[in-house]
Structure 1
Amino acid sequence: MNEPEKIDPRELSPLALAFVGDSVLELLVRQRLVEHHRLSAGKLNAEKVKYVSARAQFREEQLLEPLFTEDELAVFKRGRNASKASVAKHASPEEYRASTGFECLLGWLYLNGRLSRVQELFETLWQSFDPNEK
């Protein structure tokens, strides 16, 4: 069976980019947690949620937005403005839309091979974000 032609990331919907970006952030957080903490799987998951929930991603995006390039800001806004059929149980519509935009940006960077930029934003997030702050 022939592999289908690869789709250019610029042609993907914002929600497809967010689908990838959600996994990118979750993997980075999981990796960081297991590299630096000896916790049970349940406790690791509880810590992870503090970084990957819609509310946390909203706060993370606000922290990082001043660092976005013009192109990155455009991708974020495209994701934020994408229509979604549902909203998160524990986040406002504003928080949910911004978290989708943030995931969209991470997916776009990842699919464009800009892994060093993903890592740069993640390092800033990890050093500056307090997951226990409300």
Structure 2
Amino acid sequence: MEAVMQFAHYRYLCEHMFELNAAGVVKQHYGKMEVEKLSPLILAYIGDAYFHLFVRTRMLFFEQNKVRVLNDFSAKIVSAVYQAEAYRQIEKQLTESEKNLFHRAYSAKSHAPRAASVADYHTSTGFEAVLGYLYLTGNKIRLQEICEKSFQSIIKTIHNEHTDN
């Protein structure tokens, strides 16, 4: 029954999301974006997209020819498992408001994929929500700082895993 309701909602969105106004321009349904009122899962949705782009761009300093290598490596880096590890490495450096947002997102009801433990998935969701919040509020310096520290942490973890074998 839930799948039928989701499909109906999806169909409704497809039919109404991109309505045109009298001038033929796509109508916005909200006059402004109140970031503080967005759900933590929406913030995580944006943070996930930002971190993907950050990692893909950062990877260009290591490889500039092989798209498959870039795709495979970036997918590994942005996985819930490695994001959770990165969060644990930078947690002490977060502000109280960042930690509070993390905990709200961590506790939000969502479904973990099979590729990660439930704890890692919720941790990565919290991590992504912090990034999404920073992005949407325009705090680009802090966003860069957290992403770079996280990237470095993940790369070191991957390096250690491969040198230990």
What is aligned with 2:32? Answer: 6
What is aligned with 1:49? Answer: 75
What is aligned with 2:63? Answer: 37
What is aligned with 1:110? Answer: 135
Q: What displacement does 1:50 show?
A: 2.1
Structure exhibiting the larger radius of gyration computed from Cα positions: 2
Residue ranges of structure 1 left out of the alignment (5+ in a row): none
Q: Does 1:68 align with 2:100?
A: no
1:80 to 106, 122, 138: 106
> Separation in 1 of the partners of 2:76 and 2:65?
15
> Separation in 2 of the partners of 1:127 and 1:81?
27
Q: Residue 101 of structure 1 aligns to a residue in which SS? A: helix
* 1:98-133 per-position Cα deviation (integer Å, ceiling 9, x unaligned): 000001110011001011101011222233332425
Q: Residue 35 of structure 1 aligns to a residue in which SS? A: coil
CA contact under 8 A between 2:86 and 2:151: conserved in structure 1?
no
What is aligned with 1:58? Answer: 84
1:95 to 120, 129, 137: 120
Residue ranges of structure 2 left out of the alignment (5+ in a row): 1-20, 22-26
Across the two proteins, how many residue pairs are aligned to each other?
Answer: 133
Q: Does 1:122 align with 2:156?
A: no
Give the percent of matched residue pairs that are identical in Structure 1 and Structure 2.
35
Q: Residue 66 of structure 1 aligns to a residue in which SS? A: helix
Q: What displacement does 1:38 show?
A: 2.8
Q: What displacement does 1:90 show?
A: 1.5
Give the structure, 1 or 2, with the largest relative contact order (CA under 8 Å, sep 6 or more): 1
Q: Does 1:28 align with 2:54?
A: yes
> Separation in 1 of the partners of 2:64 and 2:138?
31
